[in-house]
Copies of this chain bind each other. A is one copy, B any other.
Amino acid sequence: MLKSINLCEFTPKEEIEDRIARLKKKMSESGISFAVIIQNVDLFYFTGSLQNGVLFVTIDEKPIFFVMKNLNRAVFETSLEITSIKKEKDVKDILTDMRLLKGKGGMELDVVPVAVFERWKGILDYDEITDISRLIKDIRLIKSPFELEQIKKSGEIIGHVFGKAKDVIKEGVREIDIDAALIAEGRRMGHQGFLRMRGLNQEMMSCYVTHGYSATMPSGADVPISGVGITPAIGQGASINTIKRDIPVLVDYGGGYNGYVTDETRAFVVGEMKDIFKKAHNVAADIIADAMEFGKEGVNGTEIFMRALKRAQKEKLEDYFMGYGEGKVGFIGHGLGLEINELPVITPRHKMLLQEGMVFAFEPKFIIPGEGAIGIEVDFIVRRHGLERVTDTSIDVVYL
C-alpha cells in the first residue's frame, strides 16, 4: 500500500457544510425549494457516506440525511445528523410532519431512471420536481483543497503503476497480461477497485493497454483510444494482441482513491519507434507544455483545444489528431473528480472558462492508421496563474 493511502479517510465536517451551503445557494438562485438526492456519488459528495439513503436539502432548514442501511456505517462516515428510516415511505411521513414539501423540488434527472422518478413522486405524493443535475455538476466542478489532496493521492497510484509497467511490458507479452499485472499492482497499493462514470451506458475500465492495431480501432465509446477488448460484450480495453518490437504500447490508467479518479496515459516501446511516432509524441509533449504555459483561470477551454489542433496542423498531423476518420473525438480534455466524465470538457464545441480548482485530464493523442497510436495524458489542476500537474511522473516515452 502506498504511504499516502489512508484507510477510511472520512470527508471532514467543514467540507460537507461548505458543499451543502453551496447547494443551498444554487438552489436559491434557481428557485428550487428542496432537493432530493438519491444517486450514490452525489450522496457521497454531500454526506460523506455511500450507504443506502436519501439526502433532503431545503434552503432554510438543516439537511436531513435519511438512512435505511447500514446505519452504523453511515454514522461513522457522515458528519451530518442521521434520520434512521425503515423504508422509503417513511421519508414522506417525516417531511409531511415537518411541512417541508412545498415549492419546486429537484432531483438528479440526468441519472435517475424514469421508473425510479415516478416511484419517488408517488412516495412524496408530489409532482413538481425538476432536474437539478446541472446545478450539482456545477458545484462539483470546483474542487476544494481537501478534494485536491484526494486527487493527488489518486495520482500517486498512477505514478506507481507506470513504474511497474516498465517491468511488465516485454516483447511477446499480451496486452491482457500487462493489464492484469497493472490492475493487481494498483489494487495492492490501495486502488479503490473501480472507477465511476456518470450516465446511462457509461462504462469504464481502470486500465487500457493498447498496442498497434488494437490502439487504432475505434469503438462505440466517445474516447480517442478504447482498445479492442476480448469480447463484443465489452468492446474496450486490453486484447490478446502481443507486444511487438518498435511499436508503442499505450497504458491509459485511472487511479482511484477515496472515490477520486485520476486518468493518465504513457507510452512504452520495446526497441525503437518509427519517426512518425516520435514526431507525434513530441507534438503531444509540446501541446502539454503550451497548455501549461497558456492555461490558467479565465482562459477559455475552446482556445486550449484550438491551440493544440493548430500545433497538430503545423506538423501536418491533424488527420491523426484525437483519432482518425470515424474514430475522431471532439475533445482533448475531460473533468475529473468522483466521476471520470465531470466538467469541464475541453472542446471547441462550447465555451468553458477555466476557474481555479477545476481538475481535468488532458490527452493529446494521435492515431496512425494501420500502425498504432501515440500520445500522452496528464491531469491538470487549474490555478489562478497556470495549470498544475496532478502527478510528477515523467511524460517521456519509456524505451525498454
Taking beta carbons and an 8 Å cutoff, which residues of A are in contact with B?
Answer: 1, 5, 7-11, 38-40, 44, 48-53, 68-74, 76-77, 107, 109-117, 131, 133, 176-177, 179-181, 183-185, 187-188, 190, 192-194, 196, 199-201, 203, 205, 217-222, 229-235, 237, 239-240, 256-260, 326-327, 338
Contact = CB atoms under 8 A, between A and B. Distances in A.
A234 B112 contact: no
A232 B113 contact: no
Quick one: copies of this chain in the complex? 2
B190 A180 contact: no
A187 B183 contact: yes
Contact of A111 (B68, B107, B200): B200
Contacts of A71: 326
Contacts of A258: 231-233
A70 B76 CA distance: 46
A10 B230 CA distance: 11
Nearest to A71: B326
20 contacts: A5-B230, A7-B230, A49-B232, A50-B220, A50-B234, A51-B220, A69-B220, A69-B326, A70-B219, A74-B220, A77-B235, A107-B114, A111-B113, A113-B114, A114-B131, A115-B133, A192-B230, A192-B233, A193-B234, A194-B194
Given A39-B200, A183-B184, A192 B114 contact: no
B194 A176 contact: no
Contact of A217 (B52, B73, B196, B199): B73
